[in-house]
Amino acid sequence: MTERIGIIGGGILGIALARALVLKDSGDVTVIEKEDRVAVHQTGHNSGVVHAGLYYAPGSLKAKLCAEGRVATREFCRDKNLPYRELGKLVIAVTDDELGALAGIEKRALQNRVPGLRRIAGHQLREIEPHVAGVAALHSPHTAVVDYTAITEAMADDVRTGGGSIRFGHEVTGISQGPAGIRVTTTRGSDVFDRVIVCAGLQSDVVASFVGASPSPRILPFRGEYWALAPHREHLVNGMIYPVPDPAFPFLGVHFTRGVYDGVQVGPNAVPALAREGYGWGTISMRDTWGSVTWPGSAALVRKYWRMGAQEIAASLLKPLYFKAARRFVPELEMRDLTAKTASGVRAQAWERGGALLDDFAVDQVGSVTLIRNAPSPAATSAMAIADHIVRTYLRPA
């Protein structure tokens, strides 16, 4: 009997899983998505970077699946004639104080076998990025940019061609497991499956609660805001210019990215969003906000990150502070070069009960329901590799 497999979520990860199952002829595959198209939320609101694996702890799922996913993404784009541009990335130490942290990243990157990685001195920086400032950097020439929405749409075409289906406008409101299978109830009815995989991103903990999974980790939404670089100033950036991450802060900080279609974005920052799908300060969900502030880990998180959080919020509200952070790397940058805020993104940051922010990919299993509880960056880069990992590890025949 053909196995009925339901996938909740039509972002890049849910569609990659559907595609992997269809290509393996693993069953009758149905994707359930509450929006009217694929890639509406995290997938369609990122900078399009295909990461090479510089930052991730050696041996972690992130490190392993990022390396596999980068290759898979490159080959998929070649097969589908989608843009894939290896513009390269510089991780720049602006001052001597950052050299120790840069050396730590270099050590990790070498352990992760990042292709083509090299350390360059300050006087060599301008050979790659003529307008930057810094004392040293790591150059990752194979870091690339793509259009993740186009990739997701192309994978969705493969799903349909292979006999799978994608249902839009179906918001999941309940899941129950019984002898006859797993009943998934939506705003348009219900279906019964033999297996269900939840790839709900910003709503992953909400959907997990439907099957009685642990409430931890909870999703804490962080909004990342980008400014567009004025077209006549885009020559200031050739590829990607990144800071040395602050090890005390879970986000990278403001950086520069030339996109796959040549526009240059500056950002993102990281500010708490007031709604899971809150792409601006004006979008507020009292339920989401109350859920965050009353979570047991909130006090520990505030104690640890309040100062940096206040700085990020201030830079979000005051353009001169955002500009100051960006100008450290490109001294020729002028305030007027940041022309307008482009579409923001919201990151689904998993947050444990004790206050720790979960860093690696995380999966739970409740009966025949597989729950992807945390899929932070580089999840888009890794999507096809994550899909294969889930199929191998969690979806073996019963």
pLDDT, one tens digit per residue, over 97-155 is: 999 999 999 999 999 999 999 999 999 999 999 999 999 999 999 999 999 999 999 99
Query: Both tokens of residue 341?
Result: 């805020």
The confidence score (pLDDT) of residue 250 equals 65
The confidence score (pLDDT) of residue 344 equals 86
What's the DSSP call for residue 63? H
Tell me the CATH number for domain 4-45+149-217+359-394. Answer: 3.50.50.60
Residue 355 in this model has a pLDDT that exceeds 90: no
Average pLDDT, the chain: 93
pLDDT in tens, 265-311: 998 888 888 999 999 888 999 999 998 888 888 888 788 877 778 88
pLDDT in tens, 24-35: 998 899 999 999
Tell the CATH topology of 223-352: D-Amino Acid Oxidase; Chain A, domain 2 (3.30.9)
pLDDT band per the 50, 70, 90 thresholds, residue 248: low
pLDDT in tens, 84-93: 999 999 999 9
- Residue 228 CB: number of other CB atoms within 10 A? 18
For 215-279, the three-class secondary structure string (H helix, E strand, C coil) is: CCCEEEEEEECCEEECHHHHHHCCCEEEECCCCCCCCCCCCEEECCCCCEEECCCCEECCCCCCC
Coil, strand or helix at 302: helix
The confidence score (pLDDT) of residue 397 equals 56
The residue-averaged pLDDT of 342-369 equals 89
Taking alpha carbons only, the member of 130, 209, 156 closest to residue 371 is 209
Find the range with the poorest average confidence among 188-192, 195-199, 313-317: 313-317
Domain ranges of the chain: 4-45+149-217+359-394, 89-139, 223-352
pLDDT band per the 50, 70, 90 thresholds, residue 72: very high
Query: Both tokens of residue 137?
Result: 């950097």
The residue-averaged pLDDT of 61-77 equals 97
CA angle at residue 362 from 359 to 366, to 5 degrees? 155
